[in-house]
Amino acid sequence: MTKIVGALRTYSRNDENDPFISCHLDNILEETVHLCGENLRSSGVELKVTGEKGILLEVRPVQISQVLVNLVNNSADAVQGLAEKWVTIHTEREASGKIRISVTDGGKGIPPAIAEKMLQPFFTTKEIGKGTGLGLSVSKGIIENHEGVIFYDAASANTRFVVELPMKHSQALSRAA
């Protein structure tokens, strides 16, 4: 409970004037899991975190967590009607030097007509009162402010969103660090 309250305090404060700081992606993922975990468990959605450990990023950690919370919650909402309800966050360093964070769920993709509009402000497919249509557009702005990109991976067999951050804002550490 203490971790959840701490994560909520961090998540809810205004950080737009904060400097970029070095922090471990593992810590950002841990906060994201704390913020989403109980809601996912109560909804019967399994959340897994996989991939490379020990990645150090130069970011505004609360903002990156905000993006991941939004993606995970969107995924959890999308899988509610499915027999297998799961969401996976996967992290890796690309050969190009970019850090890739993907959020994949058990869905089978998004129709092209929706996919082309979903990063626009106020676009939503949720019922009235269930969403503002701002989550993905705000997330896009945050990631672009970090000189990265966020996109829907239409080539994935499941529904997947990908965040890529440039190497100049990240580096990998050994497990001994």
Q: Which domains does the chain have, with CATH numbers?
A: 2-172 (3.30.565.10)
63 vs 59: CA distance, rounded Å: 8
Per-residue pLDDT for 145 more than 90? Answer: yes
C-beta separation of 32 from 139 below 8 A: no
- Is the four-CA dihedral 152, 28, 129, 86 of positive or negative sign? positive
Per-residue pLDDT for 67 more than 50? Answer: yes
Beta strands in the chain (DSSP E): 21-24, 46-51, 55-59, 86-93, 99-105, 149-152, 159-165, 170-172
Phi then psi dihedrals of residue 2, to 5 deg: -60, -40
Q: Which of 148, 171, 175 is nearest to 161 (CA)?
A: 148
pLDDT score of 36? 92
pLDDT score of 3? 47
C-alpha triplet 12, 18, 22: angle, nearest 5°: 100
pLDDT score of 144? 94
* Range 17-46 average pLDDT: 91
pLDDT score of 133? 62
Q: Which of 33, 28, 34 is nearest to 57 (CA)?
A: 28
Per-residue pLDDT for 45 more than 60? Answer: yes
Supply the mean pLDDT for the chain.
83
Q: Which residue(s) pair with 114 in the sheet?
A: none
Mean pLDDT check: name the lowest of 13-17, 32-36, 41-45. 13-17
Name the pTM for this structure: 0.81
Number of continuous H segments (helices) and E segments (strands) in the chain: 5, 8
Which one has a higher pLDDT value, 116 or 78?
A: 78
Mean pLDDT check: name the lowest of 50-54, 81-85, 171-175. 171-175
Mean pLDDT check: name the lowest of 21-25, 75-79, 148-152, 172-176. 172-176
- In the chain, % of residues over pLDDT 70: 77
Q: What is the DSSP letter of 174?
A: -
pLDDT tens track for 79-117: 998 999 999 999 999 888 899 999 999 999 988 888 887
